[in-house]
Amino acid sequence: MARKKTVKKATSRAKSTAKTGKRSKNGNPTATKEKIVALAESVLSHIDAAGNPSLNVPIRSLSNVSFNKRKRIIELGDGKANRPFFDLSNARRFMQTLLMSSELLKLQDQEKTTSIRDMFYHCKHTIEGTREETFNDQDESDPIIEDLEVTLRTLREELRVFANPDGAMVGPMVVRDRGDEIDLSRMGSGGWAVPSIVEPETIQFVKSKAKYVLLIEKAAVWARFNEDRFWESQKCMIIHGRGQPPRGVRRLCFRMVQELGLPLYVLVDNDPWGYYIYSVIKQGSINLAFESARMAVPTARFIGMSSYDAVEFDISPSVTIRMNDKDIARAKEIMAYPWFQDRRWQREIKHMLKLGVKLELEALSNKEFSFIADTYVPAKLKKGKWLD
Amino acid sequence: MARKKTVKKATSRAKSTAKTGKRSKNGNPTATKEKIVALAESVLSHIDAAGNPSLNVPIRSLSNVSFNKRKRIIELGDGKANRPFFDLSNARRFMQTLLMSSELLKLQDQEKTTSIRDMFYHCKHTIEGTREETFNDQDESDPIIEDLEVTLRTLREELRVFANPDGAMVGPMVVRDRGDEIDLSRMGSGGWAVPSIVEPETIQFVKSKAKYVLLIEKAAVWARFNEDRFWESQKCMIIHGRGQPPRGVRRLCFRMVQELGLPLYVLVDNDPWGYYIYSVIKQGSINLAFESARMAVPTARFIGMSSYDAVEFDISPSVTIRMNDKDIARAKEIMAYPWFQDRRWQREIKHMLKLGVKLELEALSNKEFSFIADTYVPAKLKKGKWLD
């Protein structure tokens, strides 16, 4: 009964807030709030009808994920799981989902954003009259947030929560970030730190002279391109995401491609992990298939490094790295993914396996410090030597 | 003999470059270049005298490190190791040191900066007529760079090399970064990404209305303070370094304290790792003792979180985390460090051990999303409740 009361409390709170719903200071639409409220109301109507309240949550496991060949993105299917409250195996997650919804609504009301870790702590408490915790650890709360993302058909960022921010960008563009106009061509050596949440309500593109976007895997390599003012001579944006780019960087690239019509080039190490980083940017990932449509960039181009580059650019064998068993296994795994079936990709990966070596972006420094920015990338672009 | 030739070549290059030495475009003084050249010349003079050329490298191990109670920093002693060329156990490192010096000189000449990983790749090659590599992996090249830092009494940043950049800063201040004036009070939600190299030649403080600097352990918590515009109401700089802050963040804090006379407050999780992060900022670290004088901030104040805060601020026991064996061992280790001998620190750490729990910054969200920025830090500052 105590639990039922919690549900009622959360849902009635949700309803009363929805009534005063208005466009927020930051211009965030009320759409997300309304979705949360609608979810709560559907639960309430079940309760009022003395039924067994339940939630229909899209299934996020591999069984419900597929590669859409036409759209060229990884998509979630229509499979849903019913999560009834009066069910021993579901009651806890049901309670957690409702509690999380209610607290996410507060974020909407307060017009704040916060981290998924914060949400865990925010929602954690001992349930009155019991010794049970609402959440034991963050491994329990993160999936609930993801459940809500898919159930509400909303992005985590629209729910106003984020993981860790990371990445930086510079180039011939002016953006508005929470009202501040920032000239990204005057950002010195540091650059503009890419925020976690880059939705149109927060970040707007004010002016752009950029002709394309170059996404660079590593922060230190990005610093090379920035110091050489590559973005100035090439009229492009340069952005990094420190390895596998965080969602803010992916979403910003998506928006630049969609809204500004810019081509996106991806520059990664020549190893299976580099291929994978590229594929997540391009097709999305299996884990987060539900957000591909608003994160993935199917037109993204793999500018390098390719397993053919060592010979093409006369790179010393001294700076290649022999693949270990894990690398080889991963390369074979990647070669089997449906989205790597294009014959040029099969050729690329087979060639890496045949050579048996990896090549890091920094290896190009073996020639000249600026070889990568002065020679390598310009040559690739000029000759149209990329994979897509 | 081949090796001797390499030495001669490197050193003569160094000498000829030194002659044309001038103040660089970025205003970087030639002091660093001259130090590299002087090192090479001392080796050359040994060779010309048909002697056994050698290098005197300060010892960086624990035996040569001590805590200076008066200055309150961890310092390197005067111990030096002689590294003669004609000595089987030293010849390889001798060659590596000279090779690295020579390549670092190129960075000076080209007025470029680059990563320590880049330097590894840049210096790696098969030695002519042998199957031996100059460097096998980065674990070999990094210590050579550190050797050169101490031998030349220069910071890595002055040698123009860096590890990975990280961290962000905003607040009421205008900085100049490579000629671009950047208003850090108009940086939106992202902030200015702190570069790796923040030496006065690259970064200058143009204007400041800041009354203090708040260094926050975590990026996501920093985002909370930024969203709440804490820096505006409190007239302070807020900066984060994503856990243990990278050198750029530490050096920038050092410079703000030294040049602008600002107090520095450090806000970390209440766990042994939080204490340690604070202590590195304050006293420096054992590993990098040679740079304490130009990186450590002995006046830094530990604003929290303290093991007394849970009770003080009425934090629910539900959001504390039980210490595991590793935590307990680490806390005891830290309690034994000479720089934690102050009785207030002993009390602080003993109290954590007695409670047997840790507390994360995000745990404060259990009360209100903005409790940490609205209530916690202002209360601490107002009451002067910090440790130093």
Residue B344 is assigned to a structural domain of this protein: yes
Same domain, B134 and B183: no
Kindly report whether the peptide bond that precedes residue B173 is cis, defined as omega within 30 degrees of 0. no
Could you count the other beta carbons within 10 Å of the beta carbon of residue B366? 19
Q: Are residues B195 and B76 in the same domain?
A: no
Sign of CA dihedral B60, B292, B280, B220: negative
Q: Do residues A37 and A18 make contact, with C-beta atoms less than 8 angstroms apart? A: yes
d(CA B59, CA A288): 50
Check CB contact under 8 Å for A164 and B125.
Answer: no
Question: CA B75: distance to chain centroid?
Answer: 14
* A362:B117 CB<8 A: yes
Structure tokens at A292: 């591909």
Interchain CB distance below 8 Å, A220 and B115: yes
Q: Is residue B106 part of a domain?
A: yes
**Contacts for A92 with CB less than 8 Å, ≥ 6 apart:** none
- Residue at which a domain ends, from B162, B189, B211: B162
Within a domain: A202: yes
Q: Which domain holds residue A326?
A: 168-383
CB–CB of B57/B100 below 8 Å? Answer: no
Q: Say if residues B15 and B41 touch (Cβ distance below 8 Å).
A: yes
Structure tokens at B129: 């007529």
Task: Answer yes or no: is B167 within a domain.
Answer: no
> Is residue B200 domain-shared with residue B56, that is, in the same domain?
no
Residue ranges of E strands in chain A: 54-58, 65-68, 73-76, 80-84, 114-115, 161-162, 168-170, 173-177, 180-183, 192-193, 203-208, 212-216, 236-240, 264-267, 301-304, 321-322, 357-358
Predicted pLDDT at A119: 96
Tell whether A27 and A114 lie within a shared domain.
yes
Which of B339, B366, B334 is CA-nearest to residue B282? Answer: B339
Element (H, E) at B282: helix B272-283
Consecutive 10-residue runs of chain A (388 residues): their mean pLDDT?
Answer: 45 43 44 91 84 88 91 94 86 94 95 95 93 94 94 93 93 97 96 96 96 97 97 98 94 98 98 97 91 94 97 95 96 95 97 97 95 97 95
Shared domain for A332 and A206, answered yes or no, is yes
Of B107, B117, B370, the CB nearest to A112: B370
Structure-block tokens of residue B378? 């202002």
Cα–Cα dist A19/A37, whole Å? 10
Question: Within a domain: residue B315?
Answer: yes
Distance from CA of B198 to the nearest CA of A (A): 9
Within this chain, do residues A176 and A158 fall inside the same structural domain, yes or no? no
> Do residues A108 and A189 both lie within one domain?
no
Q: Which residues of B touch A223 (CB under 8 A)?
A: 113, 115, 162, 165, 195-196
| B169 belongs to a structural domain | no
The answer to whether B270 and B359 are in contact (CB under 8 A) is: yes
Tell me how many residue pairs between chain A and chain B have CB atoms under 8 A apart: 192
Return the pLDDT at B49: 82
Residue B125 is classified by DSSP as -
B79 within 8 A of B92, measured Cβ to Cβ: no
Strand partners, B302: B266, B387
Q: Are residues A48 and A98 in the same domain?
A: yes
Long-range contacts of B137-146 (CB under 8 A, 24+ apart): B140/B96, B141/B96, B141/B100, B141/B116, B142/B116, B144/B93, B144/B96, B144/B97, B144/B100, B145/B100, B145/B104, B145/B116, B145/B119, B146/B60, B146/B288
Domain check: are A20 and A105 in the same one? Answer: yes
Is B266 in contact with B325 (CB distance < 8 Å)?
A: no
Rounded CA separation A364/A350 (Å): 22
Nearest of A248, A251, A242 to residue A163 by alpha carbon: A248
B194 with B277, same domain: the answer is: yes
Q: Do A165 and B370 touch (CB under 8 A)?
A: no
- Token pair 């004609």: residue: B86
ipTM of the complex: 0.88
Q: Give the residues across from B357 on adjacent strands.
A: B322
Is residue B237 helix, strand or coil? strand
Torsion sign, CA atoms A220, A233, A237, A386 = negative
Residue of B nearest to A361 (CA): B118
- Out of B162, B190, B205, pick the residue that ends a domain: B162
pTM, full prediction: 0.90
Nearest of B199, B197, B209 to residue B170 by alpha carbon? B209
Residue A14, domain CATH = 1.10.10.10
Which is nearest to B164 in space by CA: A303, A171, A321, A224? Answer: A224
What secondary structure does DSSP assign to B136-172, as a single string? Answer: SSHHHHHHHHHHHHHHTT--TTTTTEES----EEESS
Q: Who's near B227: CB < 8 A, 6+ residues apart?
A: A112, A113, B189
Task: Pick B112's closest partner by Cβ from A112, A191, A370.
Answer: A370
From B122, B177, B187, residue closest to A365, measured CB to CB: B122
State which residue of chain B sits closest to A164, comparing Cα positions: B220
Say if the Cβ atoms of B112 and A190 lie within 8 Å: no
Which CATH number covers residue B367? 3.40.1360.10
Going by C-alpha positions, the residue among B53, B160, B55, B47 that lies closest to residue B105 is B160
Residue A196 contacts residue A246 (beta carbons within 8 Å): yes
Q: Do B227 and A177 touch (CB under 8 A)?
A: no
Among the partner-chain residues B106, B118, B365, the one whose CB lies closest to the CB of A118 is B365
- For residues A141 and A275, what is the distance between their CA atoms, to the nearest angstrom? 31
User: Peptide bond preceding B305: is omega within 30 degrees of 0, i.e. cis?
Assistant: yes
From A119, A192, A365, residue closest to B121, measured CB to CB? A365
> Is B177 within 8 Å of A189 when comparing Cβ atoms?
yes
Residues from chain A that touch B362, judged by Cβ atoms under 8 A, are 115, 117-118, 120-121
- C-alpha A296/C-alpha A286 separation (Å) is 12
What single-letter DSSP state applies at residue A359?
B
Both structure tokens of A279: 């594929």
Which residue of the set A121, A275, A276, A376 is catalytic? A121
Place of tokens 């340690």: B276
Whether the link from the prior residue into A187 is cis, omega within 30° of 0, is no
Chain B residues in contact with A120 (beta carbon < 8 A): 362
Specify the pLDDT at position A69.
92
Residue with tokens 């690259």: B202
Per-residue tokens: A334: 């990647």
- Compute the distance between CA of residue B98 and CA of residue B75 in angstroms, rounded to an integer: 26
Are both B178 and B38 inside the same structural domain? no
Contact (CB<8Å) A362/B227: no
Give the amino acid at B323.
Answer: M
Q: What is the pLDDT along chain B (388 residues), one digit of tens a residue?
A: 344 444 445 444 444 443 333 333 444 457 899 999 999 998 888 888 878 888 889 998 889 999 999 999 999 999 999 888 888 888 899 999 999 999 999 999 999 999 999 999 999 999 999 999 999 999 999 999 999 999 999 999 999 999 888 999 999 999 999 999 999 999 999 999 999 999 999 999 999 999 999 999 999 999 999 999 999 999 999 999 999 999 999 999 999 999 999 999 999 999 999 999 999 999 999 888 998 999 999 999 999 999 999 999 999 999 999 999 999 999 999 999 999 999 999 999 999 999 999 999 999 999 999 999 999 999 999 999 999 8
Which residue, chain included where needed, has tokens 């005057």?
A186
Give per-residue pLDDT as tens, B223-236.
999 999 999 999 99
B38 Cβ contact partners less than 8 Å away, ≥ 6 residues apart: none
Number of domains in chain A: 2
Best of B99, B112, B362, B367 to disrupt the A interface (most A CBs within 10 Å) is B362
Residue A373: which of A175, A217, A174, A234 has the closest Cα?
A: A234
A265 is catalytic: no
* Chain A residues near residue B219 by CB distance under 8 angstroms: 164-166
How close A339 comes to chain B (CA, Å)? 32
By DSSP bridging, strand A236-240 and strand A212-216 are parallel
How far apart (Å, rounded) are the C-alpha atoms in residues A113 and A118?
10
A112: closest chain B residue by CA: B227
Q: Please, what is the Cα angle at A302 between A300 and A303, to 5 degrees?
A: 120
Alpha helices in B50-135 (DSSP H): 91-110, 116-123
Asked if residue A174 and residue A153 are part of one domain, the reply reads no
User: Does B124 sit within 8 Å of A366, measured CB to CB?
Assistant: yes
Backbone angles phi, psi at A101, to 5 degrees: -55, -45
Let me know if residue A178 belongs to a domain. yes
- Residue that terminates a domain, selected from A137, A162, A187: A162
In a domain, A60, yes or no: no
| pLDDT given at position B2 | 44
What single string gives the DSSP state of each residue in B158-214? TTTEES----EEESSEEEEETTEEEETTS-TTT-EEPPS---TTTEEEEEE--SEEE
To the nearest 10 degrees (0 to 180), the angle between helices B91-110 and B31-48 is: 140
